Amino acid sequence: MREAKSRQRESEMDEEDGSATEGVFEMLKADHRRVEELFTQFEDADKRARTGIADETLRELEIHAALEEELVYPAIREVIEEEEKVDEALEEHHVAKLLIKELRKMNAGTQEFAPKFKVLGEIIRHHAEEEENETFPEAEKAGFDETELSEEFVQRKEKLMQKFERSGKKSSGQSRRRKAA
């Protein structure tokens, strides 16, 4: 247990200084766990807390999708024979983005928000399961070198996170209210 925590801290420290010791798939799996936890927190939260949790979840999903679409999927497509897996993953991203766009126009405290957010969570869980159990192992078996992409992945993730922080992108109708004020 101590060893696992030590490795996690080392990984976090490496991410902070811009170097990557973890492979891309491990980083993506960590993102999956983080988002799954946020969906669970949302279900258990009161209406006030849901807004912040929803904002963070949507931001995490948008960053994650951009990383997969820009870096990971093109690299996977080069090594696997069954390119339909990547095409299906991109379609799942498309559906998730449509839901995210709709959720960003809504208030997290409304009755309509929670069911739509739950459906997004179900889509994301399914998507993550397919990646982890099928796509990633198939890519590794075909010779995908995930460590080669790790540093670029970490750097791009940092840039995307900064971009979201600067834009102040919020869900739950907050950005519209701020502009109107």
- pLDDT, tens digit, 9 for 90 and up, residues 18-59: 445 689 999 999 999 999 999 999 999 998 899 999 999 999
State which residues form the domain around 85: 23-167
Rounded to whole angstroms, how far apart are CA atoms 50 and 92?
Answer: 24
Q: Are 161 and 21 in contact (CB under 8 A)?
A: no
Q: Is residue 176 part of a domain?
A: no
Q: Is residue 130 part of a domain?
A: yes
**Domain total for the chain?**
1
Cβ within 8 Å of residue 6, ≥6 positions away: none
Q: Is residue 155 part of a domain?
A: yes
167 class by beta-carbon count within 10 Å (0-12 exposed, 13-18 middle, 19+ buried): exposed
Q: Is residue 2 part of a domain?
A: no
- Scanning the chain, the segments in alpha helix (DSSP H) are 2-16, 24-44, 47-67, 73-79, 84-104, 113-130, 136-141, 146-167, 174-180
Question: pTM (2 decimals)?
Answer: 0.80
Quick one: pLDDT band at residue 4, thresholds 50, 70, 90? very low
Rounded to 10 degrees, the C-alpha dihedral 175/45/161/93 comes to -90
At 169 the pLDDT is: 61
Q: Is residue 64 part of a domain?
A: yes
**pLDDT tens digits along 98-139:** 999 999 999 998 899 999 999 999 999 999 999 999 999 999
Q: Is residue 159 part of a domain?
A: yes
At 131 the pLDDT is: 96
At 74 the pLDDT is: 95
Q: Is residue 173 part of a domain?
A: no
Percent of the chain with pLDDT over 90: 70
Q: Is residue 162 part of a domain?
A: yes
